[in-house]
Amino acid sequence: MAYVEKRGKNKWRLNVVIGYTPDGKAIPKRITVEAKNKTEAKKKLSEFEVEVLGGKFFEPTKVTLNDFYKLWLDNFANDSDMISHDTRRDYIQVMETRVLPKYGHMKLEDIMPIHILDYLSDLKKPDGVRLDGKPGPLSSSRISNCFKAFKNVLQRAVEWKYIKENPASSVDRPKVKSEKTDVYSKEEMAHIFSRLSAYPFEKQVMIQLAFVTGIREGELAGLEEKHINLEKSSIFIEQAIVEVKGKGVVISSTKTDRSRHVSIPKNLVVSLKKLIHIRKQIKMKSRTKWLWEDHLFLFANETGKPLRPDSISQWWRRFTKSENIRHIRFHSLRHSSATHLINEGVHAKVIQERLGHTKMDTTMSIYAHVIEEADQKSATHFDSFFDTKTGNGNT
């Protein structure tokens, strides 16, 4: 059963009865539309009836973005199977510092693509948008991540039937520009390795592993004895250490939820064997003070507690400063590793697997400038085929 009701000048309420209560009361679905006359209203009623009975009608909700964000936190962001700790922390920061202050009061159904475009326009301002207070614009990758955070929350609203469509879906994701990554040269890394000899053995191995394997800070902190295959000269990267507010350090999956085997040189195998022996001795001496009974982390304190990932970066900064070494962030050792392999002619697919990228496109995008430079150098390998005396390649 369907019928129309006049609600004012050129306004009509469309009603479609979808059932009845136990006491015989009709259960209607209703919307108010504009129509010039009853005939036009009935035409719209027919379309509305098809939509309702076909299960395609989406009832508007008055839930605001602020209200929904709380639901997102409780039902999605806190589920480690749905989102990694690092991604969760980043999304929360973006939502609470960039999105909610401006759009939190709005009803979900009122957020349109134009608001997403407005959001991106703010992020692309040449100055005054960095949270650290430094001058200059946000990087293209940061803008892209800020867009992903807002889109992710809105997508959950679609999946949980709060809105019919994600307004961010019709907006193109900002392109990430391939920017030249700051890395250490082969000579600089050799100098770093030589200066490490004056530091604790654990720190020597930590930096050597970071450069050789391209491992991330959290993955490095998560390495245990069980992950080292001394016979095959490889390490198995399957987990990471993350710091969770209120919980401290916990074991999590890798950034891409992918595990990988990475081959290492023989000299590093010898060092790892020695480090494992040292860690076992420390565990034996600590006895009941050992906090992580079923784990033997390679990089941990005297009670077996693994290092916080940020403490690795902090130590790296102190090391480079004390040794008067050009400082680039610890994560750039990962980029230095990949750049070294590219320059040595290692196939990009091998590098992708070592770094744990899910897609080759990611590897190619990040190291596009290095690959291009390597390609330009490779052209010189054909010089010997040309006769420079004649200038035309003929003999």
Tell me whether strands 260-263 and 26-34 are parallel, antiparallel or unpaired. Answer: unpaired
Supply the pLDDT for residue 386: 78
- CA 185 centroid distance within chain: 27
Output DSSP code: residue 326: P
The correct answer on CATH 2.60.40.1150 for the domain covering 186-376 is no
Q: Where are the domains of the chain?
A: 2-53, 65-170, 186-376
Confidence band of 255 (pLDDT split at 50, 70, 90) = confident
pTM of the model: 0.69
Please measure the distance between the N-terminal and C-terminal CA atoms of the chain and give it in whole angstroms: 92
Above 70 in pLDDT, residue 387? no
Above 60 in pLDDT, residue 274? yes
Above 60 in pLDDT, residue 320? yes
DSSP string, 113-155: HHHHHHHHHHHT-SSS--TT--SSPPPHHHHHHHHHHHHHHHH
Supply the pLDDT for residue 188: 95
Output DSSP code: residue 177: P
Rounded to whole angstroms, what are the CA distances from 126 to 117, 143, 175, 261? 16, 12, 17, 42
Supply the pLDDT for residue 394: 52
Architecture of domain 65-170: Orthogonal Bundle (1.10)
HEC readout, 18-39: EEECCCCCEEEEEEEEECCCHH
pLDDT in tens, 347-356: 989 999 999 9
Instruction: Please provide residue 311's backbone torsions phi and psi, each rounded to the nearest 5 degrees.
Output: -70, -25
Closest CA to 237 of 270, 215, 210: 215
Top mean pLDDT of 52-66, 202-216, 235-249 is at 202-216
Taking a C-beta distance cutoff of 8 angstroms, is the pair 393, 205 a contact?
no
Same fold for the domain at 65-170 and the one at 186-376? no
- Listed as own residue / partner, the contacts of 356-364 with beta carbons closer than 8 Å and 24 or more positions apart are 356/237, 356/254, 356/255, 356/256, 356/258, 356/260, 357/256, 358/256, 358/258, 363/338
